[in-house]
Amino acid sequence: MLTLRRISDSLGPGIVMAATAIGASHVILSPVAGARFGYDLIWLVLFSHFFKYPAFEFGPRLAIANGYSLIRGYQLVPGPRNWALFVFLLTTTLQGLTILTGVISVTASILVVTLGRLPFPAWIFLTGVVVIVLHKTGKYAALQRLSKVFMAILAAATVIAFVVSPPGPADLAHLVIPVVPAGAILLVSSIFGLMPTGVNVSIWHSLWAVEHLKYWEKKARDKQDMLRMGMIDLRTGYWLSAVLAIMFMSLGANQLRPRGLTPDGINVALTLSNIYTEILGRWMFPVFMLAMFAAMFSTTYSVMDGFPRAFSTILKTLFPENAFLKRPSNPTYWMFMGVIFSFAIVANTLLPNPVLMVSLVGVLSLIVAPILYSLNYYCATRLIEDEALRPSPRKRIWALAGIVFMTMAGLFFMYTELYVKYLQ
């Protein structure tokens, strides 16, 4: 039986994953949905979390069962040699460029509102430099500790505001009643793509889980016990993400919509702060800004680690004999970090709109989700030899339903927003 102490000790990669999740989709898209459409879109939170869950579970499951990440699993997918890795390399490059652009723009917008003095692109540059320095000098354990602290700050501020201004029973009925209001297709697609986070993060999670294996091995009696600890770690972060997303959307509906306030542009953080200052007073302004900055900085930190880590690992897997890739300094990791950071600076200078950036990132994440989800499914169901560690038949059906659901959502967006509007 897992004691509270063992549960606490087992937490690690799942909390880092949750810290990555509780960023753009929660702090930006959820309140925007509430402000624009009230409670009509709150069902998206449960639907997206529910249908995506198996994709995220397959990463740590494979790591614990086989001792390697999903990237190694992709290499073992049958067909033309390494085709799955090349597909993932392409999606990693595209998402690495766009996702960092979105999350770092929100982080910088908070600094513009709270500290000012410097222009928006300068804050983006300084934020990225600080993150790079922390990555250069810090370790995975530091990321884990920071993520726990950041999540606690944001969760506490949000719970307080939510308890003071909760939704009514009629409002919560929208949790299970799918409605797509007119003009909501882009937002709906973005939330599906990024709630709780992009499916690509499941691959990062598997890499973080591999790093955490030695710790779990010391605490667990056997692999089944390790799997239980890994699942507790994942589910704690994952479902905390769902609860907070519901709270954020509810607060947007209760506090912003009645006053006609919709978060947008560089002042997005200032608009969101009205949720907390209206309920609890002006003293909450610095507290909320700190919590929001903590969440977004943690997301930026994780994104600037996750994409380069995945990119570097893919290249080493594809070209194991390459001497340049085998250098201890891991040059491809830092090169890719520099590339996505440079792209983020240029893109946000040309289009300084954090909400639009995040929305576009969500759409791209939705379109590539079924591909990565299907690859994760293959790895978990075909590569794990120990039957006790494989997904159950129920979990497999759940995953297949998730793949179909994400595919249909992506096709629906492309039909309504691309074909009907521009190609028909």
Please state, in angstroms and rounded to a whole number, the distance separating the CA atoms of residues 150 and 144: 10
Contact criterion met (CB below 8 Å) for 300 and 127: yes
Residue 153 CB partners (closer than 8 Å, separation 6+): 290, 291, 294, 295
Q: How many CB atoms lie within 10 A of CB 114?
A: 16
Contact criterion met (CB below 8 Å) for 38 and 179: no
**pTM for the full model?**
0.84
Q: How many CB atoms lie within 10 A of CB 222?
A: 9
Mean pLDDT computed over 226-235: 84
In this predicted model, what pLDDT tens digit does every residue of 326-371 receive, in sequence order? 888 888 999 999 999 999 999 888 888 888 888 888 898 899 999 9
DSSP 67: S
Mapped onto helix, strand or coil, the DSSP state of residue 386 is: coil
Q: Which residue shows structure tokens 């969760």?
A: 155
Q: Which residue shows structure tokens 């490059």?
A: 93
Mean pLDDT computed over 25-53: 91
DSSP 20: H
Contact criterion met (CB below 8 Å) for 252 and 38: no
Please state, in angstroms and rounded to a whole number, the distance separating the CA atoms of residues 364 and 413: 11
Query: How many helices and strands, by DSSP H and E, does the chain display?
Result: 17, 0
Mean pLDDT computed over 390-419: 92
- Nearest alpha-carbon partner for 188 in 419, 421, 405, 420: 405
Q: Is the pLDDT of residue 374 over 90?
A: yes
In this predicted model, what pLDDT tens digit does every residue of 192-217 receive, in sequence order? 998 888 898 888 788 878 888 888 78
Question: What band does 10 get if pLDDT is binned at 50, 70 and 90?
Answer: very low
Pull the structure tokens for residue 156: 């506490």
Please state, in angstroms and rounded to a whole number, the distance separating the CA atoms of residues 110 and 119: 12
Contact criterion met (CB below 8 Å) for 109 and 269: yes
DSSP 39: T
Q: Is the pLDDT of residue 407 over 90?
A: yes
Please state, in angstroms and rounded to a whole number, the distance separating the CA atoms of residues 126 and 308: 19
Contact criterion met (CB below 8 Å) for 101 and 344: yes
Tell whether omega for the bond before 331 is within 30 degrees of 0, i.e. cis. Answer: no
Pull the structure tokens for residue 16: 């880092």
Residue 159 CB partners (closer than 8 Å, separation 6+): 247
Look at the alpha carbons of 260, 261, 263, 265 in this order and tell me if their dihedral is positive or negative. Answer: positive
Q: How many domains does the chain have?
A: 1
Percent of the chain with pLDDT strictly greater than 90? 29
- Nearest alpha-carbon partner for 362 in 94, 99, 87, 56: 99
Q: Count CA within 13 A, CB hemisphere, residue 408.
A: 8
Give me the helices (H) in 67-119, please.
Answer: 70-75, 83-114
- Nearest alpha-carbon partner for 103 in 291, 235, 300, 265: 300
Angle, alpha carbons 176-180-182 (nearest 5°): 155
- Note down the domain range covering 81: 4-423
Pull the structure tokens for residue 415: 């039909």
Mapped onto helix, strand or coil, the DSSP state of residue 40 is: coil
Q: Which residue shows structure tokens 């879109």?
A: 41
Q: How many CB atoms lie within 10 A of CB 401?
A: 13
In this predicted model, what pLDDT tens digit does every residue of 102-148 receive, in sequence order? 889 888 988 988 887 788 899 999 999 988 888 777 654 565 566 56
Question: What band does 372 get if pLDDT is binned at 50, 70 and 90?
Answer: very high
Give the lowest-confidence range in 76-80, 176-180, 277-281: 277-281
What is the chain's mean pLDDT, rounded?
A: 84
In this predicted model, what pLDDT tens digit does every residue of 413-422 receive, in sequence order? 888 887 666 6
Q: Count CA within 13 A, CB hemisphere, residue 150.
A: 28
User: Quick one: how far is CA 257 from the chain centroid?
Assistant: 26
Q: Is the pLDDT of residue 63 over 80?
A: yes
Identify the residue with better confidence: 62 or 146. 62
Q: How many CB atoms lie within 10 A of CB 17?
A: 29
Tell me the CATH number at 243.
1.20.1740.10
CA dihedral 74, 89, 233, 361 (to 10 degrees): -140
Q: Which residue shows structure tokens 């006790």?
A: 388
Please tell me the predicted confidence (pLDDT) of residue 408: 95
Please state, in angstroms and rounded to a whole number, the distance separating the CA atoms of residues 335 and 187: 33
Q: Which residue shows structure tokens 């240029």?
A: 346
